[in-house]
Amino acid sequence: MLVGAVAWWMAGDGLEVNDARASVLSFVVSLCTLLLALAGVLRRWQGRRRDDSLSGPRPTDPVMHAGYLKQTILAAAVAGDDALSRPQLLPLSWTSAAPELGDGVPAPPVGSRIRERKRNRLDVGFRRAIRDLAAHYRRIAGGRLVILGEPGAGKSVLSFMLVRGLLEEWRPGERVPLLLSAVSWDPTREKLGDWIVRTLAVAYYSGAREIPRSLLEHDLLLPVVDGLDEMPEFIRRLAVRAVNEALARDRPIVLACRTAEYAELIGTGSPPLRRAPVIELEPLDIEDVTAYLRAVDWADPARLEPLYAHLDAHPGGAVEAALATPLTVSMLRTVCERGGDLDPVLRLTSRAAVEDALVGAAVGEPDRSRRWLSYLAGHLHQHRERELAWWRLSGRLLSPWAVIGLALFCGVALTLLSWAWMLTFGGWQDLGLNTALLAGAYIGGGFAVLAIIAWYAGDAAAPPDGSPPPRPGGPPGCAGAWRPAWHWPPSQSCRSSSASA
């Protein structure tokens, strides 16, 4: 419509008048395009530095910073523990791991609120369990701990519960626990302290590292590193060695890893984590699993009777073996809540087949999910990354030459349109054919160049360290580049939107 209006406006005048008008319009359009590109750059730059311009003084006391950080992490944890806070909670049991996996430091005695039945066991409600777990951890001299278990055994859940319990009982001057994913750390490029500072800065301080560095230097951080087994094998070996070297002053740390990967790590000559007891999560008792399932308020409890009958008739069978981990029990519950049919699962004869069937039924449309996940895995491999940055996907779906090709195409189209305009409405004879063709080429070429500059200028202003785009107006921990972690209290919107920890 705008192009049609301009064409109608210019149709009744000669070439000289229209040429002057076109020059002015081209200058205005080019200037607006350039200003929009610069505005995008300045907006992103200002977002990263917004913490310097917000009203209110910055607290300089590291303990005060630690208090604000604790409130931020706890607010997100409270919003993300709904599933764990159910009255029905699977009991987690653990025991000391094989002696060769540690350096001889025994696990602390069991607390009075944690019932001992030849092992350490959390079989109370969620609130009490996290408090007992935090008290259990505080008995460890030095605060170092290694959590092992098979896939799906509950290592991540136990790590989360430990962080949540320590946050609930936190006092000024104590270390703030941080749940970190080991997959985002490359010890060949980054020291442990630098990784902790970078991760904390990106998550809570808009990429600014001053405050996280101060917290680390004042020994106010407790890293709880989950997913050590997700690192490549040679990186995993370097990671444990880097932890031992970086924490030579006996600073606390908690590591979570699969048992097989950690045993292989130690067996190939890597030193264990010094002065750290090693515990191993045990398989679930089938009695606990059935008690957990019977306590759920099912819409049709009779639908699970075939499952109970199968477990009684086939002790030690494939289904019982598959239900030895909280992850598999959780998938079973999801399938039952969705009204899935368990009869095909009960007919399977191997644990792996049962687990695959439950995963497929819980995920839904397994073929499509497999295709999507395969694409994402290939994307990570192509870009040599181990952590999925969803906000980068849109910019990577196109070829690097796509923007240039599109800009050139539009420039050629605009050039041809300019030539057609001059040939249609006449007057090009006054300028000469060569001059008229050259003017059209200038118009189209200028547009293409400005479009390319605007695109890459905006791309160059992307947030540092691969941080996600800012979410304006959010509280600390959700603020991105718009609000620093000392701006408190949080709003209700973040409490309801922070669904994970």
Whether 262 and 353 map to the same domain: the answer is: no
Whether 276 and 327 map to the same domain: the answer is: no
DSSP three-state, residue 472: coil
CA separation for the pair 480, 465 (Å, rounded): 12
CA separation for the pair 485, 274 (Å, rounded): 33
Element containing residue 258 per DSSP (H, E): strand 253-258
335, amino acid identity = V
Whether 184 and 71 map to the same domain: the answer is: yes
The pLDDT tens digits for 382-404 are: 776 666 766 667 667 767 677 78
Give domain status of residue 317, yes or no. yes
Give domain status of residue 9, yes or no. no
Backbone φ and ψ of 466, nearest 5°: 65, 25
Q: What is the mean pLDDT of the chain?
A: 75
Whether 267 and 336 map to the same domain: the answer is: no
Structure tokens at 352: 């792996």
Give domain status of residue 406, yes or no. yes
Whether 136 and 191 map to the same domain: the answer is: yes
Residue 240, pLDDT score: 86
Give domain status of residue 411, yes or no. yes
What is the β-pairing status of strands 92-96 and 278-281? antiparallel
Whether 276 and 291 map to the same domain: the answer is: no
- Name the nearest CA neighbour of 120 among 151, 99, 92: 92
Residue 84, pLDDT score: 53
How many structural domains compose the chain?
3
Whether 316 and 277 map to the same domain: the answer is: no
Q: Are 280 and 92 in contact (CB under 8 A)?
A: no
Residue 195, pLDDT score: 92
What is the β-pairing status of strands 92-96 and 120-122? antiparallel
The residue assigned the tokens 């949540």 is 164
Whether 148 and 211 map to the same domain: the answer is: yes
Whether 449 and 329 map to the same domain: the answer is: no
* Residue 165 domain boundaries: 62-281
Whether 357 and 432 map to the same domain: the answer is: no
201, amino acid identity = A
CA separation for the pair 371, 287 (Å, rounded): 37
Whether 68 and 176 map to the same domain: the answer is: yes
Give domain status of residue 50, yes or no. no
pLDDT means per 10 residues, the chain with 501 residues, are 52 58 63 65 57 45 89 80 59 84 64 40 70 87 90 89 91 92 88 92 86 91 91 83 77 91 87 87 90 86 90 92 91 88 90 89 74 82 70 68 84 84 66 71 81 68 49 36 33 31 29
Structure tokens at 91: 């009991």
CA separation for the pair 227, 214 (Å, rounded): 26
Element containing residue 147 per DSSP (H, E): strand 144-149
Residue 495, pLDDT score: 30
Residue 175, pLDDT score: 92
The conformation of residue 499, written as its DSSP 8-state character, comes to: -
Give domain status of residue 360, yes or no. yes
Structure tokens at 73: 């992490």
Whether 272 and 301 map to the same domain: the answer is: no
